[in-house]
Amino acid sequence: MPGPGGGFQPIPRLLALGHRQHIHVWDVRQGQFVSTLRGHTARVTSLAFSTDGRCLASGASDRSVRVWRLADEMPLATLQGHTDTIRGVAFAPDGTMLASAAANGTVRLWNIANGERLAMLQGRTTLHRIAFAPDGEMLAGGTASGTVRLWRVADGVRLDTLKGHTAAVLGVAFSPDGTLLASGSKDRTIRLWRMVDGACVATLKEHTAGVGHVAFAPDGKTMASASDDLTVRVWQVAGGRCLATLGGYTASVSSVAFSPDEAWLASGSATRPSGCGRRRMGRWGKR
């Protein structure tokens, strides 16, 4: 863990999931397979949609980042320069910048328009998933040492290091209003951090194995977590109560995402040692 990435298009129609070196795209409304994006030469490890839903970014074990135009499934750019497996990709909210994090602890910021590298943020420990704050001014990344790093995007200055987890932080996500950051860890817990002062305001402990992915619902009132304990849990953010436990998996659950209209919750799992991916979608919340 973390395993193949996955996510919903901001326009609630498409779902993308990594499977080996390919990316499978599904039409959620029709329940139909749409296409397979090919180009990576090793396992796809992370995916992210642009804010406007027109582009998809992918990172892989081949050390490359690719940006795809979804309208015609064409690759817009192949971003090279990382020297280790890509662990996370994230679009800035305004869609002009892409961040990619590698296993060796480096983060690169890219200009989407021309593929130019804008900055490189150095680190000393493995990074996992990354996330931009909703205002685009801050970037968060979970580390193998159990901390969450926060950088200022404008100049790459490290603003803070959030400490509290006792094992690797595998997933991070900002709340839609930017006031909270959620982190999921191999220590089996999820922590909620208050961004105004970096304080941990809640620790959620019901998973029985590592937590590899966390995601907030668009309204910020609920969140979901994917775990090695073969479950997805849905939480009430205020109070930290577990609202539901979704099971039935036969392998670790590596990704989870709410649809933008909050009607669907999708999750991804590798169901066999070969790495063959499996997707699940279920109605949730608003209709």
**Concatenated DSSP letters for 164-202?**
--SS-EEEEEE-TTSSEEEEEETTS-EEEEETTTTEEEE
Two tokens, residue 209: 């194995």
pLDDT at 19: 81
Q: 158 and 146 in contact (C-beta within 8 Å)?
A: no
pLDDT at 125: 82
Q: 54 and 70 in contact (C-beta within 8 Å)?
A: yes
Q: Is 9 exposed, middle or buried (0-12, 13-18, 19+ CB in 10 A)?
A: buried
Of all residues in the chain, the percent with pLDDT exceeding 70 is: 89
Is the pLDDT confidence value at 135 over 70? yes
pLDDT by residue (tens digit) across 226-245?
A: 999 999 999 999 999 999 99
- For residue 128, the one-letter residue type is H
Give all domains of the chain, ordered by start, each with its CATH number. Answer: 8-281 (2.130.10.10)
Distance between CA atoms of 82 and 95, rounded to whole angstroms?
21
pLDDT at 270: 62
pLDDT by residue (tens digit) across 235-281?
A: 999 999 999 999 888 889 988 888 887 878 888 776 543 233 344 44
Lowest-pLDDT range of 97-106, 124-133, 240-249, 260-269: 260-269
Is the pLDDT confidence value at 185 over 90? yes
pLDDT at 260: 80
pLDDT at 261: 79
For the chain, give the mean pLDDT.
87
Is the pLDDT confidence value at 9 over 60? no
Is the pLDDT confidence value at 7 over 60? no
175: pLDDT confidence band, cut at 50, 70 and 90?
A: very high
The more confidently predicted of residues 202 and 18 is: 202
Name the nearest CA neighbour of 209 among 191, 235, 234, 228. 228
Beta-strand pair 65-69/55-60: antiparallel
pLDDT at 285: 56
Q: What per-residue string of b and e applies to 132-159 under the rule 16 or more CB within 10 Å gives b? A: bbeebebbbbbbbbbbbbbbebeeeeee
pLDDT at 275: 32
Lowest-pLDDT range of 13-17, 39-43, 130-134, 162-166: 13-17
6: pLDDT confidence band, cut at 50, 70 and 90?
A: low
Is the pLDDT confidence value at 287 over 50? no
Name the nearest CA neighbour of 267 among 282, 278, 256, 254. 256
pLDDT at 277: 37
Q: What is the Cβ-side half-sphere exposure of residue 208, based on CA atoms within 13 angstroms?
A: 5
Q: What is the DSSP string of 72-108?
A: TTEEEEEE---SS-EEEEEE-TTSSEEEEEETTS-EE
